Amino acid sequence: MNRKPGTHPLSRPASLPGGKEGASPVSQHVVLVTGFEPFGGEKSNPSWDLCELLPAIIAGLRVVKVRVPCEFHRCIEVAATAIERHKPELVICVGQAGGRTHLSIERVAINIDDARVPDNVGAAPVDEAIAPQGPPAYFATLPVKAMAAAMRAAGVPAEVSNTAGTYVCNHLMYGVLHFIAVKKPGTRAGFIHVPFDEQQVRDRNGTPSMSLATMARGIEAAIAVATSGGEIKVSEGRLD
């Protein structure tokens, strides 16, 4: 997808409308939760469907939910617009990773797009930087290990993941963290991958899945512990 010079979403203030977050600005005590529209031929996307099950208030923070497109660049524009408008204390982006068995709290996003399949508008960048002047990677600024522990304590299978891939999910995680680093320092953000939901795998024998209610319970537990900001020192390293 060719872009005119100076039109990269990370090179200018966000200005496009975003999702279902409403028109009125919100000043304080907000957690912004984003989920994706369906992609890859799916009729639904649990990352967004679970958002609709989240309560209005979690740990004293008002929950603002925004659906983002499964599109390189545009997903960052929508999320950045919502961050500008609502000024959240926390940003939790959620995406689907079909085939995973756990909710995966991502530790790191890398500055590269390497699309295996096109996004929803046909873009398939290969070996392209997300932010040409940005650092090679960003670490989530949320307590990822504490969040995984809180999810497990709530009865939800959870893990820390050390790869968010190189598709739109990694693109959004990196883009949001870069936008925050440049324009909204102090806001904390991260990304959580979720499995297929049970309805998606009815005809896919043996494919891992999880109920939307269980996913939503895990996300709620993660948000609640993230408000404290306190991390725990335990091993969450993986061989893969």
List active site positions: 106, 169, 193
Residues 140, 204: Cα–Cα separation, whole Å: 33
Burial class of residue 42, CB neighbours in 10 A (0-12, 13-18, 19+):
middle
Residues 37, 27: Cα–Cα separation, whole Å: 27
Cβ neighbours, 10 Å, residue 6: 7
**CB of 161 closer than 8 Å to CB of 104:** yes
Dihedral angle sign, alpha carbons of residues 55, 80, 68, 216: negative
CA neighbor of 211 nearest in space, from 158, 156, 164: 156
Residues 174, 114: Cα–Cα separation, whole Å: 14
